[in-house]
Structure 1
């Protein structure tokens, strides 16, 4: 089986995979890490209440919600939702309930510094 194959992701197969640190209360399972100009593909697991600060997409990002609900400023995305974030778009992401998403980034995102008033 190729190293990039993961089985039964939409039916809970992700529960059998190992996740490592990514951000506070968000863990990652790399399916294919960034390499040169190749996109990164991973699973992200958000604990309830976890968030990722406002960031800009330097390339195309696509997300499939496998479990739970992921949210951003434009809405809440339930299991089965497919989200496309265009290059140059900005948002923050959170999950009140916790969630698992399959994500592909063409390029790493840029975390934006919050302005201090």
Structure 2
């Protein structure tokens, strides 16, 4: 696996990384999987129109948008936006344009609403 550095990520080097399944329309590349008390750090890649259902943050979540636009009930976040979601907050997430985000979770989130087919 290539070294994951800030320069690699912000220069588009994430395009060379391997992503695996996460949720329907969203893939993941783990930089640091959850391990004990260590937070999880990953890249999430949303296809156009992909979403993650309403969920609760059991710990702090921070996001840096690397490409495209990520949205939630509070607004739209374009490339370069830094988002902080405090423990206990809830929202759903989607991307009308498709996007790639760098995300760090202190703890896994709890899904509150599953998508219905």
Q: Same fold (TM over 0.5)?
A: yes
User: What is residue 14 of structure 2 aligned with on the other side?
Assistant: 14
RMSD value, Cα: 1.4
5+ residue gaps in structure 1?
Answer: none
Find the aligned partners of 1:5 and 1:85 in 2 and give their Cα distance. 27
Q: Report the CA distance shift for 1:41/1:73 in structure 2 as closer, same or farther (over 3 A).
A: same
Deviation of 1:4 (Å): 9.1
Q: How does 1:7-86 map to 2 (within 5 A)?
A: 7=5, 8-86=8-86
Write out the 4+ residue segments of structure 1 that deviate beyond 3 Å after TM superposition: none
Deviation of 1:11 (Å): 1.2
User: What is residue 99 of structure 1 aligned with on the other side?
Assistant: 99
Deviation of 1:42 (Å): 0.1
Find the aligned partners of 1:5 and 1:86 in 2 and give their Cα distance. 29
Whether the 8 Å contact between 1:4 and 1:32 is mirrored in structure 2 is: no
5+ residue gaps in structure 2?
Answer: none
Secondary structure of 1:9's partner?
helix
Find the aligned partners of 1:20 and 1:68 in 2 and give their Cα distance. 19
- Cα offsets for 1:5-53 (capped at 9, x unmatched): 4141011010000000000000000000000111000000000000000
TM-score (norm 1): 0.92
Find the aligned partners of 1:4 and 1:62 in 2 and give their Cα distance. 23
